[in-house]
């Protein structure tokens, strides 16, 4: 008799690593993802990725274009690797066409959007910003500037935490960027976007520039909705796990960004541990604990370096929309007591994105922490809710 | 911090808000205590329909009066109340259910409620997404739907009641309420309008939670024109004690489609019951095959306050001198909220009421 | 050379590489308004990864489908209204 399949939800680095390691233990593994192809955001469109090559040879059953309802456990043993999404903060003009996320623009370019010949301002916070700028240039676009909200000092401290000679690194990073001819401004924030004109504040100075696209993102937030619906306990916005990546629900593991934002190395090692642990290879999993702890230290340093400045709360004007699905403005929300009150009395968060964009923004702007997601995890045809065991995608 | 008022209302759902509104309009000072969020319980979880019902003469009188009161109010309410005068279309699947259509037509017509009988072809024209082989239906054009949390908020804002939110009530007694933070709210009259939770503080009240499931879709303007209810509903859903589902869908003013409904006793956990949800959605798809392809964005549950005889408890609590009840409205809390408020205010002030209040008095099933 | 396919957006033919998403192809073609918000604002993709639902279009007659989660196929009919 063969053991039941291990179901992995999410085919980014953590999910792919988990699926490969579990399959390597001889277990049948089903890997589900909402996107058209495996790879998650970081490996989107990357045909050279060695983990994806490994996945292709692993015997893992990959089902893309598949939505999980969240109404029942996807498998007796489930590994959640649902990743993270971008944190968007509202500013005047952020709903205009021409404004995308930073990771958003990256994903669109990797999905076939031709940025060649276009000007782009990259703004927000985090290591993603230079990565996006680099992709834009590589794809034939020009980067007007990078506006990073954190200070140069915070970034230097981050480098110091990781390397013995941080000044050198900072200098070389700056040099690399300036060689590309891209101004990289710290303590710099987009105040508004209006018809291709971006208004920025750098320290106390205000200046403007023209652009075709503004790519703005303020870091990442874990996609905890499915974990929360399945009853996993959350801690500070991330899924709580033990060293084996086991959540507080028996048989449910979590790996990668949803246990805390930390980048691809953290995702890979956590995915490997979760895959091994779920398949019962406890000793092999334990051998990876050292790598996992190092990845978490990196993650903590990263999050300190790019901590959001409280001044960003002053960006939205009264009429600036916070909820883009239901068009609910800042003025209607700022006096309310809770996220649930905002939902019930203004429709904020009640649209098809189910609050994925505005809830994280509202948490930052207003301090609301009472989010409790409703099923389904993602909008699905009503007929599928009647039969949540069915899969939408075809095995690849 | 302590407060006092002529009337203290426990519960800020649509019923509590309507009681506050009518009492304040009668000149009384009112304090409403809501442990969570105004309109956040069954008011938010339900369908928000305002329907004239014919299960009994008493139910008819209460729903009709309340519908009249709603139609006076909705014109002045804020846009967020999302009033939609869509009418109700009772759908008959076969000849047996057409007999029920004719009975209902006679009932409503004799009492002055405009209705229109539709044959199979007229039904298909009225709702093109219904499956084609249905027998017909009865259109009650005066029925409508609202979004109750905003309506509750409006009623409280408009009447100027003092509203205390965020701290649940620990105990209710003849003189007032003690909140969980130890503060005290005293009043001349105390009204328990806690819906399905009414019996938690007063265990002798025969109100039990009756669970329901709902699903809402993205926006599909024009997909649905009327609230639709299958006529098997009366046979199945009101058979107390058994879990039941029925085809009941509703257009929202946003263009969304609300898909119901289910009724369960004895289910006290808030989670989705997959077998019930599946049956409910399959039933909806039997009547409207296209409904399965509409994108569902949210599913949830709620608890109705059910009484043994399906009539609400409106009036003095037997055996208590100053405690009153306004609960037990089951699936008709939104419909009957304004009439409930009127009856409560009339009884407290000694005014006469537009309808006989006797069928709803708690003394019929609570003995003090 | 990557294989080219043609999709039709509001009847207008748009060439795209096979494997590109509908959202990417529409943006490359200069389309600014994928949908109009409930208060009438034009909207275009924000997140590019299936989260924000700003790229909702009607695909093959089905409304509210995410352009960023749908791959271009030859002859695919897309509508922005």
- A382 contacts in chain B (CB < 8 Å): 215, 217, 259, 281, 284-285, 291-296
Q: Residue A46 — very low, low, confident or very high, per pLDDT cuts 50/70/90? A: confident
Q: Residue A394 — very low, low, confident or very high, per pLDDT cuts 50/70/90? A: very low
DSSP letter string, C10-53: TTEEEEEETT-BHHHHHHHTT---SEE-TTS-EE--SSSSSSS-
Interface contact flag, B218 C38, Cβ < 8 Å: no
Look up tokens 């409790």; give the residue. Answer: A372
Is the CB of residue A188 less than 8 Å from the CB of residue A125?
A: no
- C23 contacts in chain A (CB < 8 Å): 108, 111, 113
How many domains is chain B built from? 2
Residues of chain C where predicted confidence (pLDDT) is lower than 50: 1
A234-277 pLDDT per residue, tens: 998 999 999 999 999 999 999 999 999 999 999 999 999 999 99
Interface contact flag, C64 B218, Cβ < 8 Å: yes
Take residue A113 and report the two structure tokens written for it.
């959007």
- C47 contacts in chain A (CB < 8 Å): 85-86, 88, 100-101, 103-104, 107, 357
Segment A10-14 shows an average pLDDT of 97
Give the whole-angstrom CA distance, residue B267 versus residue B257: 26
At residue A138, does pLDDT exceed 60?
yes
Interface contact flag, C64 B293, Cβ < 8 Å: no
Q: What is the pLDDT of residue A393?
A: 40
Domain that holds residue B201: 3-51+148-205+309-364
- To the nearest whole number, what is the mean pLDDT of chain B? 95
Q: Do B219 and B300 belong together in one domain?
A: yes
Residues of chain A within CATH 3.50.50.60 domain(s) are 6-85+221-303, 99-217
- Closest chain B C-alpha to C79 CA, distance in angstroms: 15
Interface contact flag, B220 C63, Cβ < 8 Å: yes
Q: Do B356 and B218 belong together in one domain?
A: no
- Closest chain C C-alpha to B127 CA, distance in angstroms: 19
Q: Work out the widest C-alpha separation in chain C, in whole angstroms.
A: 43
Give the whole-angstrom CA distance, residue A60 versus residue A55: 7
- When computed from its CA atoms, the radius of gyration of chain B, rounded to whole angstroms, is 20
**Residue A212 sits at the chain C interface (C-beta within 8 Å):** no
Q: Do B215 and B356 belong together in one domain?
A: no
Interface contact flag, C38 A326, Cβ < 8 Å: yes
To the nearest 10 degrees (0 to 180), the angle between helices B14-25 and B148-159 is: 20
Residue-level length of chain C: 81
**CATH no., domain A6-85+221-303:** 3.50.50.60
- Closest chain C C-alpha to A16 CA, distance in angstroms: 18
Interface contact flag, A381 B215, Cβ < 8 Å: no
Q: What percent of chain B has pLDDT over 70?
A: 97
Q: Residue A48 — very low, low, confident or very high, per pLDDT cuts 50/70/90? A: confident
Q: Residue B3 — very low, low, confident or very high, per pLDDT cuts 50/70/90? A: confident
Which candidate from A96, A111, A325 shows the least CB-CB separation from C48? Answer: A111
Q: Do B155 and B98 belong together in one domain?
A: no
Interface contact flag, A383 B153, Cβ < 8 Å: no
Take residue B117 and report the two structure tokens written for it.
């009988």
- To the nearest whole number, what is the mean pLDDT of chain A? 91
Q: What is the pLDDT of residue A161?
A: 66
Is the CB of residue A229 less than 8 Å from the CB of residue A377?
A: yes
Q: Do B290 and B214 belong together in one domain?
A: yes
Residue B73 lies in a domain: no
Q: Do B165 and B287 belong together in one domain?
A: no
Q: Chains A and B: how many Cβ contacts under 8 Å?
A: 90
- Give the Cβ contact number of residue C3 at 10 Å: 9
Q: What is the pLDDT of residue A97?
A: 97
Q: Do B283 and B296 belong together in one domain?
A: yes
Q: What percent of chain A has pLDDT over 70?
A: 92
**Does CATH place domain C4-79 in 3.10.20.440?**
yes
At residue A299, does pLDDT exceed 80?
yes
Q: What is the pLDDT of residue A391?
A: 45
Provide φ and ψ at B185, rounded to 5°: -120, 115
Across the beta sheet with A119-124, the strand order is: A99-100, A213-217, A119-124, A142-148, A184-185
- Closest chain C C-alpha to B93 CA, distance in angstroms: 28
Q: What is the pLDDT of residue A248?
A: 97
User: Considering Cα of B175, then B179, then B185, then B189, what sign does the dihedral take?
Assistant: negative
Residue C45: partners with Cβ closer than 8 Å, 6 or more residues away: A100, A104, A108, C23, C27, C34, C52, C54, C55, C67, C68
Q: What is the pLDDT of residue B163?
A: 97
| Closest among B42, B55, B70 to B311, alpha carbons compared | B55
Mean pLDDT is lowest, of A228-232, B235-239, B255-259, B328-332, for B235-239
C 2-41 → B contacts, CB under 8 A: 38
Q: What is the pLDDT of residue A164?
A: 47
Q: Do B232 and B313 belong together in one domain?
A: no
Chains near B (3 or more Cβ pairs under 8 Å): A, C
Interface contact flag, C27 A108, Cβ < 8 Å: yes
Residue B176 lies in a domain: yes
Alpha helices of A64-220 — where are they, by DSSP H?
A: 102-110, 128-138, 152-162, 166-179
Segment A34-41 shows an average pLDDT of 87
Q: Do B216 and B298 belong together in one domain?
A: yes
Residue A340: partners with Cβ closer than 8 Å, 6 or more residues away: A370, A372, B36, B37, B40
- C62 contacts in chain B (CB < 8 Å): 293
Is the CB of residue B359 less than 8 Å from the CB of residue B312?
A: no
DSSP letter string, B299-352: EEEEEEEE-TTS--EEEEPTT-SSEEEEE--GGGHHHHHHHHHHHHHHHHHT--
A73-119 pLDDT per residue, tens: 888 899 999 999 999 999 999 999 999 999 999 999 999 999 999 99
- Closest chain C C-alpha to A172 CA, distance in angstroms: 31
C 14-73 → A contacts, CB under 8 A: 16-17, 19-21, 23-25, 27-28, 32-34, 37-39, 41-54, 56, 64, 68-72
**Distance from the Cα of residue A13 to its chain's centroid:** 12
Give the architecture (CATH level 2) of A99-217: 3-Layer(bba) Sandwich (3.50)
At residue B232, does pLDDT exceed 50?
yes
Residue B265 lies in a domain: yes
- Please give the torsion angle defined by the CA atoms of residues A246, A252, A253 and A254, in that order, rounded to the nearest 10 degrees: -120
At residue A173, does pLDDT exceed 50?
yes
Chains near C (3 or more Cβ pairs under 8 Å): A, B
Structure ipTM: 0.98
Residue B79 lies in a domain: no
> Strand pairing partners for B353?
none
Identify from A72, A332, A339, A344 which residue to disrupt to test chain B contact, counting B C-beta atoms within 10 A and taking the largest count: A344
Segment B298-317 shows an average pLDDT of 96
- Give the Cβ contact number of residue A4 at 10 Å: 11
Interface contact flag, A383 B281, Cβ < 8 Å: yes
B86-143 pLDDT per residue, tens: 999 999 999 999 999 999 999 999 999 999 999 999 999 999 999 999 999 999 999 9
Look up tokens 């009607």; give the residue. Answer: C58
Q: Residue A177 — very low, low, confident or very high, per pLDDT cuts 50/70/90? A: low
* CATH code (residue B189): 3.50.50.60
B106-122 pLDDT per residue, tens: 999 999 999 999 999 99
* CATH code (residue B131): 3.30.9.10
Q: Do B127 and B165 belong together in one domain?
A: no
Q: Residue A174 — very low, low, confident or very high, per pLDDT cuts 50/70/90? A: low
- B293 contacts in chain C (CB < 8 Å): 62
- Closest chain B C-alpha to C2 CA, distance in angstroms: 34
């Amino acid at each position: 008799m063969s053991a039941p399949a291990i179901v992995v939800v999410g085919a980014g680095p953590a999910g792919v690593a988990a699926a490969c390691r579990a399959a390597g233990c001889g277990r049948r593994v089903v890997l589900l993802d909402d996107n058209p192809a495996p790879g998650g955001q970081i490996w989107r469109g990357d045909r050279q990725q060695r983990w994806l090559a490994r996945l292709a040879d692993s015997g893992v059953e990959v089902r893309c274009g598949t939505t999980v309802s969240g109404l029942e456990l996807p498998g007796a043993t489930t590994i959640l690797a649902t990743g993270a999404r971008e944190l968007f903060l509202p500013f005047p003009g952020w709903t205009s066409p021409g404004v995308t996320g930073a990771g958003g623009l990256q994903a669109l370019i990797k999905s076939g959007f031709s940025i060649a010949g276009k000007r782009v301002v990259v703004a927000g916070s985090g290591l993603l910003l230079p990565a996006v700028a680099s992709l834009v240039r590589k794809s034939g676009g020009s980067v007007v500037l990078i506006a990073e909200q954190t200070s140069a000092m915070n970034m230097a401290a981050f480098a110091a935490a990781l390397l013995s000679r941080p000044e050198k690194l900072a200098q070389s990073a700056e040099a690399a960027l300036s060689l590309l001819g891209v101004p990289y401004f710290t303590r710099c924030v987009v105040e508004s976007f209006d018809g291709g004109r971006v208004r920025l504040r750098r320290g106390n100075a205000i200046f403007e520039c023209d652009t075709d696209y503004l790519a703005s993102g303020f870091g990442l937030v874990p996609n905890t909705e499915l974990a929360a619906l399945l009853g996993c306990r959350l801690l500070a916005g991330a899924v709580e796990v033990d060293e084996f990546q086991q959540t507080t629900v028996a048989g449910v593991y979590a790996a990668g960004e949803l246990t805390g934002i930390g980048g691809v190395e953290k995702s890979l090692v956590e995915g490997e541990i979760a895959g091994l642990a779920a398949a019962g290879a406890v000793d092999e999993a334990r051998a990876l604990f050292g790598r996992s702890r190092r990845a978490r230290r990196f993650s903590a340093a990263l999050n300190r370096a790019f901590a959001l400045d409280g001044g960003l709360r002053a960006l939205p004007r009264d009429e600036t929309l916070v909820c883009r699905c239901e068009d609910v403005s800042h003025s209607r929300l700022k006096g309310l007591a809770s996220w649930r009150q905002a939902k019930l009395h203004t429709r904020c968060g009640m649209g098809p994105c189910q609050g994925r964009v505005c809830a994280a923004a509202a948490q930052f702007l207003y301090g609301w922490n009472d989010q409790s997601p409703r099923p389904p995890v993602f909008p699905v045809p009503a007929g599928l809710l009647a039969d949540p065991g069915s899969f939408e995608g075809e095995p690849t | 911090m302590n407060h006092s008022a002529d009337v203290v209302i426990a519960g800020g759902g649509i019923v509590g808000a309507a009681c506050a509104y009518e009492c304040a309009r009668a000149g009384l000072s009112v304090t409403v205590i809501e442990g969570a969020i105004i309109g956040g319980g069954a008011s938010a979880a339900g369908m928000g329909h305002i329907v004239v019902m014919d299960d009994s003469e008493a139910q008819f009188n209460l729903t009709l009066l309340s519908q009249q009161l709603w139609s006076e109010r909705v014109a002045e309410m804020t846009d967020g109340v999302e009033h939609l005068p869509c009418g109700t279309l009772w759908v008959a699947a076969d000849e047996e259910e057409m007999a029920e259509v004719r009975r209902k037509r006679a009932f409503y017509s004799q009492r002055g409620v405009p209705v229109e009988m539709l044959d199979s072809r007229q039904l298909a024209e009225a709702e093109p997404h219904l499956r084609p082989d249905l027998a017909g239906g009865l259109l009650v054009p005066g029925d409508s739907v609202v979004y109750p949390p905003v309506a509750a908020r409006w009623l409280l804002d408009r009447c100027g009641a003092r509203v205390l939110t965020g701290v649940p009530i620990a105990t209710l007694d003849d003189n007032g309420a003690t909140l969980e933070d130890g503060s005290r709210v005293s009043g001349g009259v105390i009204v328990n309008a806690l819906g399905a939770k009414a019996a938690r503080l007063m265990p002798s009240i025969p109100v039990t939670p009756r669970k329901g499931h709902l699903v809402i879709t993205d926006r599909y303007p024009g997909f649905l024109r009327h609230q639709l209810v299958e006529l098997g509903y009366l046979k199945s859903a009101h058979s107390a004690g058994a879990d039941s589902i029925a085809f009941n869908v509703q257009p929202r003013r946003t263009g969304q489609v609300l898909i119901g409904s289910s009724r369960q006793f004895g289910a006290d956990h808030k989670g989705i019951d997959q077998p019930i949800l599946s049956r409910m959605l399959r039933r909806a798809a039997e009547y409207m095959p296209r409904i399965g392809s509409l994108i569902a964005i949210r599913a949830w549950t709620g608890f109705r306050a059910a009484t043994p005889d399906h009539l609400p408890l409106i009036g003095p609590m037997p055996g208590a001198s100053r405690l009153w009840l306004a609960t037990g409205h089951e699936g008709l809390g939104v419909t009957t909220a304004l009439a409930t408020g009127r009856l409560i205010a009339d009884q407290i002030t000694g005014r006469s009421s537009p309808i006989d209040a006797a069928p709803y008095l708690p003394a019929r099933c609570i003995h003090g | 050379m990557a294989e080219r396919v043609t999709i039709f957006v509001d009847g207008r033919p748009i060439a795209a590489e096979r494997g590109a998403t509908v959202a990417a192809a529409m943006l490359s073609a200069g389309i600014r308004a994928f949908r109009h918000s409930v208060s009438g604002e034009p909207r275009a993709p924000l997140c590019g990864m299936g989260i924000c639902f700003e790229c909702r279009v009607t695909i093959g007659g089905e409304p509210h489908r995410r352009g960023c989660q749908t791959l271009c196929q030859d002859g695919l009919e897309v509508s922005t209204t």
